Amino acid sequence: MKKITKETYLDWYKNMLFWRKFEDKLASVYIQQKVRGFLHLYNGQEAILAGALHAMDLSKDKMITAYRNHVQPIGMGEDPKKVMAELYGKATGTSKGMGGSMHIFSKEFGFYGGHGIVGGQIPLGAGIAFGDKYKGSDAVTLTCFGDGAARQGSLHEAFNLAMLWKLPVIFICENNGYAMGTSVERTANHTDIWKLGLGYEMPCGPVDAMNPIKVAEAIDEAIQRARRGDGPTFLEMKTYRYRGHSMSDAQHYRTKDEVEEYKKIDPITQVKDVIFEKGYATEDEISAIDKEVKAMVKECEKFADESPYPDTQQLYDMVYEQEDYPFIS
């Protein structure tokens, strides 16, 4: 694995803070109805993405996930201004405003979307990995989903074929403990989701996903296994979501005290503590990063606010007409 250096920690701090503040801004403009529909935020889970990016080769590796999908393409290289514009439904967005919050997509940067069907991306991720193996590429696909999606039948079908064909895919369950709002303890007679891999003899295990180092180490090992041709891995990332499932979630299923307790191990705070302990940056230098992040978020908001909505014609440009279509008289 690439060495974890002073620069790594400073990048982690800046990136995770930006992702957090970017989504905080989305929550704010959602209340103003500038972002419509559903909005699912990643707050608290940033260490998964930070650690994954450290282990990935972004020149070829890919990622696919569910609808909590705003910051992943940014981490992989997409312009955050375009991501925010997409959430606004603007023509300058990553999908010209046609995808919105739940369907961010960036083929250019290897991000194959947020998917609104719970668990629907699991077999798709296996399919992307199948394509890479078929073409002789040693690229690896990270397929992410929540603990609720782990109860979908599509997971078992994908696990079976991924092991049978030794596909270069890493299945990542981002277990925040509550899925949409139901505790893991109430959805199955077991709480160790990673053990689902044992039924397929798939390498699997739990990961402390509030710590980007632990995430990077686990994903690096899985990537190396996949590149060797040894097939998939299933990792259960034990994380915690500070906000509700979506903006309409009243969060009656947990207490405020519980959320505050988990904030004591906030991945951003953990990284900042190490930065200070090791003398990687001073208070003033961290403050400068904070100001830079604030300015970056403001720039994204300004771009989205000032961008135009799509023309009506765009609706027709997204479909095609077959003149010799034989089934309409």
CB 85 within 8 Å of CB 168: no
- How many other CB atoms are found less than 10 A from the CB of residue 281? 18
Angle between helices 6-31 and 80-88 (to 10 degrees): 20
Q: pLDDT category, 329, cuts 50, 70, 90?
A: low
Of 160, 127, 147, 15, nearest to 68 by C-alpha is 147
Dump the DSSP string for 168-206: SEEEEEEE-SSTTTS-GGGT-S---GGGGGGGGT--EEE
Over 90: is that where the pLDDT of 22 sits? yes
Task: Work out the percent of the chain whose per-residue pLDDT is above 70.
Answer: 99
pLDDT tens, position by position, 199-241: 999 999 999 999 999 999 999 999 999 999 999 999 999 999 9
- SS3 for 303-328, per residue? HHHHCCCCCCHHHHHCCCCCCCCCCC
pLDDT at 324: 85
3-state secondary structure of 187: coil
What average pLDDT does this structure show over 42-62? 98
Of 54, 58, 87, 56, nearest to 70 by C-alpha is 87
Average pLDDT, the chain: 96
What average pLDDT does this structure show over 10-29? 98
Of 19, 59, 47, nearest to 239 by C-alpha is 47
pLDDT at 128: 98
Main-chain phi, psi angles of 152, to 5 degrees = -85, 145
Q: pLDDT category, 245, cuts 50, 70, 90?
A: very high
Main-chain phi, psi angles of 119, to 5 degrees = 85, -5
pLDDT tens, position by position, 136-162: 999 999 999 999 999 999 999 999 999
What average pLDDT does this structure show over 258-279? 97
Q: pLDDT category, 319, cuts 50, 70, 90?
A: confident
* Cβ-Cβ contacts under 8 Å for 188 (sequence gap 6 or more): 151
3-state secondary structure of 271: helix
Token digits for 255? Answer: 């207490």
In the chain, domain spans: 6-318
DSSP bridge partners of 206: 236
Burial (Cβ within 10 Å: 0-12, 13-18, ≥19) of residue 152: middle
3-state secondary structure of 25: helix
Note the helical H segments in 89-169.
121-134, 153-164
What average pLDDT does this structure show over 167-172? 98
- Domain 6-318 classification at class level: alpha beta
